[in-house]
A and B are shown apart, each in its own frame.
Chain A
Amino acid sequence: MTTPRIDDLPPRLAAIVEEFQELDKPQRLELLLEFSQGLPPLPSRYEEHPELLEPVPECQSPIFVVSEVEPREGDDPQVRVYFRAPREAPTTRGFAGILAEGVDGLSAAQVSALPDDVCARLGLEEAVSPLRLRGMTGMLRRIKRQVAERSVAA
């Protein structure tokens, strides 16, 4: 297995890919579990308005994602992403946790430039199966689309 590229990734996402790549298969699952436990709670404004979140049907478990694009003075707009995923779906929560840490806070331009295969670089196909991993790609695809739509609107 060749080591995947990280030079085209924003620093935090590059660090996550490196972290996964340094581990063997069982340890990768443990790290995914840590990300699942570290998923930040949904802000209360979304708890009260779940209809503002978009479902991700590629995932096996019900998960919802919403992205915000916040204008910043003298800088690119900043992207915030929030997720709602059930406790009894730790794998899906883990994917969300990775994206929350790796994507939240990037600029809109950085998000739109994220390579589509970034989820495949974590080395999780063998550990969790490609079918399950499709859910994570589905989340990222939705985030990118939401950001593109909201950047035009902003």
Chain B
Amino acid sequence: MPIAHDSDPSLTEYAHPERLVTTAWLSENLGTPGLVVVESDEDILLYDTGHIPGAVKIDWHTELNDPVTRDYVDGEGFAKLLSSKGISRDTTVVIYGDKSNWWAAYALWVFTLFGHPDVRLLNGGRALWEAEGRELTTDKVEIDAAEYPVIERQDAPIRAFKDEVLAHIGQPMIDVRSPQEYTGERTHMPAYPEEGALRGGHIPGAQSVPWARAAAEDGRFKSRADLEAIYTGEKGLQPTDDVIAYCRIGERSSHTWFVLTHLLGFDKVRNYDGSWTEWGNAVRVPIVKGESPEGTIAA
């Protein structure tokens, strides 16, 4: 039984409001059969310090990635993982997390690779839930294992690989990293691990829109008008454009992928998860430095 969408007026302006729920909606719907709430954070222990009652944890590092190859889990791995979390194919999944849902959006994107039909984000994420004084608990969650079918991953519609990005140069691309990473001043995020990129700069033609510009101060998404002012106004993208977004390892660009696809209704947005840790190390791919998309100094 699908669970009714959140009809809150704050969501109806978006292209696909069924992909979001408000904190109030989630409070009212906690415990509804057929709903599983998933917490997905950058910090693997944050869930254990207190989580939304009944929520299960999915960790991007240790559970969504293949342990050997740089890739996501395959259909069997995903089926095993979701079954163990009590999720079936017809479960309504609501994902929330820290840092304006940055990792939650990443998890949602991976769920989308497997075409999970009903997966939604909690608008505002963990921070808003906490700020509103809503309940968090350290109680252990009893999970009734489910039977998730083995579904073949469909990468093509929403995932871009290096060769596709190379062929895409000249078409719309969004670099969602910090301005310093974009210009080539640094190869990693301020205060973040140096994930080993040998070269700094950006892919020729990519426009810079740091992912957090889509988030309001309370962690919710900005209004549709504000988002349009950035992506279609300032950057001149069209909802019919073929767009590739990238960052450092594909997490921040999942957030932008969500914004363009589900909030603004773009038809074809792909996330290049190899991102800068691949491009910045690849031999002979074009890189430019500086503030303009075309770059000022060829690297």
A interface residues, Cβ below 8 angstroms from B: 29-30, 32-33, 36, 55, 57-62, 87-92, 94, 126-129, 131-132, 134-135
Task: List, in ascending order, chain A residues with CB within 8 A of B61's CB.
Answer: 128-129, 131-132
B interface residues, Cβ below 8 angstroms from A: 42-46, 48-49, 61-62, 98, 188, 190-195
Find the residue from A55, A89, A126 having the highest chain B CB count within 10 A. A89
A30 to B46, CA, bound (A): 11
Task: List, in ascending order, chain A residues with CB within 8 A of B195's CB.
Answer: 131
A59 to B289, CA, bound (A): 26
Report whether B194 and A58 are in contact in the complex, using a CB–CB cutoff of 8 Å. Answer: yes
Across the two chains, which residue of chain B brings its CB closest to A93?
B45
A18 to B115, CA, bound (A): 44
A132 touches which of B44, B46, B98, B191 (Cβ 8 Å): B44
Report whether A29 and B48 are in contact in the complex, using a CB–CB cutoff of 8 Å. Answer: yes
Report whether A57 and B192 are in contact in the complex, using a CB–CB cutoff of 8 Å. Answer: yes
Report whether A33 and B43 are in contact in the complex, using a CB–CB cutoff of 8 Å. Answer: no
Shortest Cβ distance from B123 into chain A, in angstroms?
Answer: 19
15 A-B pairs besides A57-B193, A91-B43, A128-B44 with CB distance below 8 A are: A29-B45, A36-B45, A57-B188, A57-B192, A58-B193, A58-B194, A60-B193, A61-B42, A87-B49, A90-B46, A90-B49, A91-B44, A128-B62, A129-B44, A132-B44
Shortest Cβ distance from B130 into chain A, in angstroms?
Answer: 9
Task: List, in ascending order, chain B residues with CB within 8 A of A29's CB.
Answer: 44-45, 48
A146 to B74, CA, bound (A): 45
A76 to B195, CA, bound (A): 38
Report whether A90 and B45 are in contact in the complex, using a CB–CB cutoff of 8 Å. Answer: yes
Q: A127-B62, A132-B61 are in contact. Are A33 and B48 (CB under 8 A)?
A: yes
Task: List, in ascending order, chain B residues with CB within 8 A of A128's CB.
Answer: 44, 61-62
Report whether A89 and B193 are in contact in the complex, using a CB–CB cutoff of 8 Å. Answer: no
Task: List, in ascending order, chain B residues with CB within 8 A of A89's CB.
Answer: 43, 46
| CB-based A-B contact count at 8 angstroms | 60
Task: List, in ascending order, chain A residues with CB within 8 A of B192's CB.
Answer: 57, 60
A33 to B49, CA, bound (A): 8
A59 to B190, CA, bound (A): 11
Report whether A88 and B191 are in contact in the complex, using a CB–CB cutoff of 8 Å. Answer: no
A125 to B190, CA, bound (A): 24
Report whether B193 and A92 are in contact in the complex, using a CB–CB cutoff of 8 Å. Answer: no
Question: Would you give 6 A-B contacts (Cβ < 8 Å), ordered by A?
Answer: A29-B45, A59-B191, A89-B46, A94-B45, A129-B61, A131-B61
Shortest Cβ distance from B191 into chain A, in angstroms?
Answer: 5
A87 to B192, CA, bound (A): 17
Across the two chains, which residue of chain A brings its CB closest to B49?
A90
Shortest Cβ distance from B29 into chain A, in angstroms?
Answer: 26
Report whether A135 and B193 are in contact in the complex, using a CB–CB cutoff of 8 Å. Answer: yes
A88 touches which of B43, B48, B190 (Cβ 8 Å): B43
Shortest Cβ distance from A83 into chain B, in angstroms?
Answer: 15
A94 to B191, CA, bound (A): 18
Across the two chains, which residue of chain B brings its CB closest to A58?
B193
Report whether B191 and A55 are in contact in the complex, using a CB–CB cutoff of 8 Å. Answer: yes
Across the two chains, which residue of chain B brings its CB closest to A94?
B45
A20 to B103, CA, bound (A): 28
Task: List, in ascending order, chain B residues with CB within 8 A of A88's CB.
Answer: 43, 46, 98
Find the residue from B43, B48, B188 having the highest chain A CB count within 10 A. B43
A36 to B46, CA, bound (A): 11
Report whether B193 and A131 are in contact in the complex, using a CB–CB cutoff of 8 Å. Answer: yes
